Amino acid sequence: MSTATPTLLDVRFGQGVRNYLNEDYGFFSWLLTKDHKRIAILYLISVSIMFVLGGFFAMMMRVELLTPEGDLLTSDTYNKFFTLHGVVMIFFFLIPVIPAVIGNFILPIMLGAKDLAFPKLNLLSWYLYMIAALIGLVVIITGGVDTGWTFYTPFSTQYSNTHVFGTTFAGFIAGFSSILTGLNFIVTTHRMRAPGLTWYRLPLMVWALYATSIVILLATPVLAITLVMLMLERTIGVGIFDPALGGDPVLYQHMFWFYSHPAVYIMILPAMGVASEVVAAFTRKKIFGYSFVAYSSLAIAFLGFLVWAHHMFVAGISTYSAMIFAFLSFCVAVPSAIKVFNWTATLYRASVSWQTPMMYILGFIGLFTIGGVTGLFLAALGLDVHVTDTYFVVAHFHYVMVGGTVMAYLAGIHYWWPKITGKMYPEWWARLAALLVFVGFNLTFFPQFVLGYLGMPRRYHAYAPEFQVLNVLSTAGASVLAVGYILPIVYLIWALKFGRPAGPNPWGAVGLEWTTSSPPPKENFHETPVVSWDAYDYPAMMKAMGETQNV
Amino acid sequence: MMLTDFPLFPEQASTVAGDVDNLFIFLCVLTGTVSVLVFITIFFLAIKYRRTPTNELAQDYEPPHLLELAWIVIPSIIFVGIFVWGSWLYFHLARVPNHAIPIYATGKQWMWKFQHATGQREINMLHVPVNRPIEITMASEDVIHSLYFPAFRVKADVLPSRYRKMWFQATKTGRYHIFCAEYCGTLHSGMIGWVEVMEPTEYQKWLAGGAEGSLASQGEQLFQKYACNTCHTNDATGRGPILAGVYGNDVMLSDNTVVKADDNYVRESILNPRAKIVKGFSPIMPIFQGQVSEDDLMKLLAYVRSLGSTKQPINPPESPQSFQSNAGAVTPQTTTQPKGNQP
């Protein structure tokens, strides 16, 4: 701790000091950069654009659903909008967002490394993402796609006359972007840790990103295979999923969910990593049960591969296989529960700061808990028969992915914004936005649980009149949520110019990233750090601070 | 719309609805309690130990790690309990009661077609008697659909590749929603209808309304139209197996395996007969894949079922007249194959 201590109290603000942002200028210094921090910024801009696009589709859907009749959009347009909302938000926002933006920026710094193991591969993965995104945009402009983001056969292979090929091809390319990022993270975590930084001294964010990367590396190739089969089926009719040729459309669902269920963990595991970092920093305490939380990430990564068919309990799988998948689904709930309880226990006798990142994470814990426990409803087989494919499922996975991943992402962006840009965001506005997001989110999605249990199926352009009141509530919530999401975009950009300088460690947090200047220099550290302390070693820091205060 | 006009809980109109709702309510209470306790704990701790000038630094204290064991073991036990309860319900839903009234359903972009054993056909409307188990055999003509009766708490995907079955027993007369729950294209949200649950006497009256003969007899006409009867005769001289008494029983195949002649076996034997050859016969039957519509296939299935099976899937036991009249409608026309001729 002795080496880190002085910088914790360091008041050098780093203004005018050489850093990764002012090291080079010009368009190509960004487009050809191999610096993981600049690539993170490129990703930040790209995923933010995709988020706005996906949000636009969502908002149009919510406005359409204000009335039971399908009156604002045609059925085909509505179907395209929910498909594009799903495709954009999942493949181009939720999957890359935390690993590619926050992970890219912070992982090498947390490891005390100069960069990721393969900087050029890292840049390539951004270009693959951009190629995929551009194909996606071409698809949208030239007429869209209407299969739902799940591309179920035989609708996608034989019946839809929209751009299924283009969309799945974009998904295929985006998958390789993920694979390269995952590979890069795994090698970096193994090979590039600073001297003294043993596995059990790693921040939990690193454990989470590592577990995520394993899932990405093992699951995404299956998506690639599945999408290739789908494309072949659609273009030359190979018949793998076509009953008339001896194929089985349900096989497609098995293959699709073999990737897409683990993909849920690709989205939520990094969010749990952010939660652990923020809880530690804003309680000034070591996360309770560090090793349980670390291993629970690996357990989730492993079990996440064994539960795919719980999406298919009414799709025509055998009763006994449904039981096995239901049982494993309950198993995967255990490590998630561990994390929630451990974060809660960390608050005990802590020093809890209610700053914006912590507000988001408290919201995250609440919403993720609701998302998690409603998963138990869906894993209970006989009950799933009633609620699957209804708004209950829609509400459940939005609680996990938006209430979980997006809340954690916003927490992480606020937490590391001073490190990324060297500037503080306006705290008052940020707290207001956090509150709006929390209230707006619950107002949007809680009524959907009720709608689902009432029996309103998902992907309905028009609906029965008795569902209207709850739909109006949901749309009202979505409007509040939209304001909550637009605010950070505005004030974070404002803060770039007008924010007060952050200094190296505005939160009084421990962790290697807080020992270097803000923004960090191109090579991250002025000298290679040597680590001799455990993650979240606040007692040592407190001691140091206590001594200083006594002076 | 008045605020009082909208329901917050769905109508319970089947024998299983109450069981499903009990599990749902139990889970709501259980998870609601746990979640609220977690939220209260978080807020209490986050406020009690909030950062103040005197509490700048957390105390160097860790709760006992026995706690962790507690919140691994206790949730696990509860989860096993929920698992058992949910699975018990699922098994109950999967087991079709004996003597259920058979109804055939076809999903098609974007409508539901129902055929009754007595020959009535309906679109986006289904009439069933109250307090009788109903067994629906269903297939899709195109993409995957999902037949969903929210008031009965049952739902099953309808596949283009094979038959699936679902059942329910309505407990209250009235009209309830039918939805398609699996996205199926442009008018997915228009693939809806009503199920009309009627008193048995009303239902009998409704059944007496015009039909072109029972489904089995319509199937028999198709059996002749497609010239099936030239090979599937009722004696050992036929080039195809005798079909009487086959349905629901075991069949020995040419590779000496034994399969049960269920709905999907019959379906496959018509559409792709060479997939399973009955022992002692040659693979000479033409392939009917793409030749027979789903509706006709169901009629043929109803005919094969009527030729004899271990259970009699006809009408409510309370109405023996209609059972007899139905059987009577079949028997006189069964010129080539008298009923009950066991091989």
Average pLDDT over residues A170-178: 96
Interior angle at CA A441, CA A170 and CA A476, nearest 5: 100
CB within 8 Å of chain A, chain B residues 120-149: 142-144, 146, 148
The sign of the dihedral angle between the CA atoms of B147, A320, A368, A93 is negative
Residue A9 has a pLDDT of: 37
Q: Return the closest-CA partner of residue A97 out of A357, A271, A304.
A: A271
Percent of chain A at pLDDT exceeding 70 = 95
Q: How many residues does chain A have?
A: 551
Could you tell me if A236 and A323 are in contact, meaning their C-beta atoms sit under 8 angstroms apart? no
**Class of the B101-208 domain?**
mainly beta
Taking only the tens place, the pLDDT of each residue in A277-315 is 999 999 999 999 999 899 999 999 999 999 999 999 999
Question: Which of A314, A326, A373 faces B35 most closely, judged by CB atoms?
Answer: A373
pLDDT at B338 over 80: no
Average pLDDT over chain A, rounded to whole?
92
| Residues of chain A positioned with their CB less than 8 A from the CB of B3 | 469
Instruction: Give the tokens for residue A134.
Output: 């551009």
The Cα A264–Cα A257 span in angstroms is 10
Cβ-defined contact of B185 to A146 (cutoff 8 Å): yes
Taking only the tens place, the pLDDT of each residue in A413-471 is 999 999 999 999 999 999 999 999 999 999 999 999 999 999 999 999 999 999 999 99
Q: How many residues does chain B have?
A: 343
| Residues of chain A positioned with their CB less than 8 A from the CB of B290 | 244
- Listed in order, the ranges of chain B carrying CATH 2.60.40.420 are 101-208
What single letter denotes the amino acid at residue A399? Y
Taking only the tens place, the pLDDT of each residue in B203-227 is 998 888 767 788 888 888 888 888 8
- Listed in order, the ranges of chain B carrying CATH 1.10.760.10 are 215-316
Could you tell me if B198 and B173 are in contact, meaning their C-beta atoms sit under 8 angstroms apart? yes
The sign of the dihedral angle between the CA atoms of A63, A68, A70, A71 is negative
| Residues of chain A positioned with their CB less than 8 A from the CB of B161 | 243, 248-250
Q: Does A539 touch chain B (CB under 8 A)?
A: yes
Taking only the tens place, the pLDDT of each residue in B62-93 is 888 888 899 899 999 999 999 999 999 999 99
State the Cα torsion A289-A292-A294-A299 to the nearest 10°.
Answer: -160
> How far is the CA of A469 from the CAs of A65, A386, B105, in angstroms?
10, 22, 33
The sign of the dihedral angle between the CA atoms of A534, A535, A538, A541 is positive
Measured N-to-C along each axis, helices A407-421 and A356-379 cross at an angle, to the nearest 10 degrees, of: 150
Q: Return the closest-CA partner of residue A194 out of A108, A274, A102.
A: A108
pLDDT at A549 over 70: no
Could you tell me if A493 and A84 are in contact, meaning their C-beta atoms sit under 8 angstroms apart? no
Interior angle at CA A370, CA A405 and CA B5, nearest 5: 115
Q: Does A232 touch chain B (CB under 8 A)?
A: no
Residue B239 has a pLDDT of: 84
pLDDT at B59 over 60: yes
Q: Is B108 helix (H, G, I), strand (E, B) or coil?
A: strand
> How far is the CA of A87 from the CAs of A256, A379, B127, in angstroms?
14, 25, 40
Q: Is A19 helix (H, G, I), strand (E, B) or coil?
A: coil
Cβ within 8 Å of residue A493, ≥6 positions away:
none
Higher pLDDT, A271 or B312: A271
Higher pLDDT, A384 or B225: A384
Residue B321: what are its φ and ψ, rounded to 5°? -60, -45
State the Cα torsion B294-B297-B299-B304 to the nearest 10°.
Answer: -150
Residue A2 has a pLDDT of: 38
**Class of the B215-316 domain?**
mainly alpha
| Residues of chain B positioned with their CB less than 8 A from the CB of A321 | none
Residue A16 has a pLDDT of: 54
The Cα A82–Cα A58 span in angstroms is 7
Residue B60 has a pLDDT of: 79
Min Cα separation A216/chain B (Å)? 27
Cβ-defined contact of A455 to B75 (cutoff 8 Å): no
Q: How confident is the model at residue B335 (pLDDT cuts 50, 70, 90)?
A: very low
Average pLDDT over residues B194-205: 94
What distance, in Å, lies between the first and last C-alpha atoms of chain B? 65
Could you tell me if B343 and B245 are in contact, meaning their C-beta atoms sit under 8 angstroms apart? yes
Q: Does B18 touch chain A (CB under 8 A)?
A: no
Quickly list H helices, A388-537: 391-400, 407-421, 427-454, 468-498
Q: Does A295 touch chain B (CB under 8 A)?
A: no
| Residues of chain A positioned with their CB less than 8 A from the CB of B71 | 337-338, 341
Percent of chain A at pLDDT exceeding 90 = 87
Kind of pairing, strands B250-252 and B121-123? Answer: unpaired
Tokens 């990142």, residue located? A357
Taking only the tens place, the pLDDT of each residue in B123-137 is 999 999 999 999 999
Q: Does A455 touch chain B (CB under 8 A)?
A: yes
- Give CATH for domain A32-550: 1.20.210.10
The Cα B333–Cα A431 span in angstroms is 80
Taking only the tens place, the pLDDT of each residue in A11-39 is 444 445 789 998 888 889 999 999 999 99
| Residues of chain B positioned with their CB less than 8 A from the CB of A469 | 1, 3, 5-6
Q: Return the closest-CA partner of residue A15 out of A549, A504, A440.
A: A504
Residue A459 has a pLDDT of: 96
Average pLDDT over chain B, rounded to whole?
85
Instruction: Give the tokens for residue B148.
Output: 């969903």
Taking CA–CA distances from A368, the nearest residue in chain B reads B35
Residue B325 has a pLDDT of: 37
Q: How confident is the model at residue A137 (pLDDT cuts 50, 70, 90)?
A: very high
Q: How confident is the model at residue A1 (pLDDT cuts 50, 70, 90)?
A: very low
Lowest mean pLDDT among A100-114, B105-119, B261-275, B300-314: B300-314
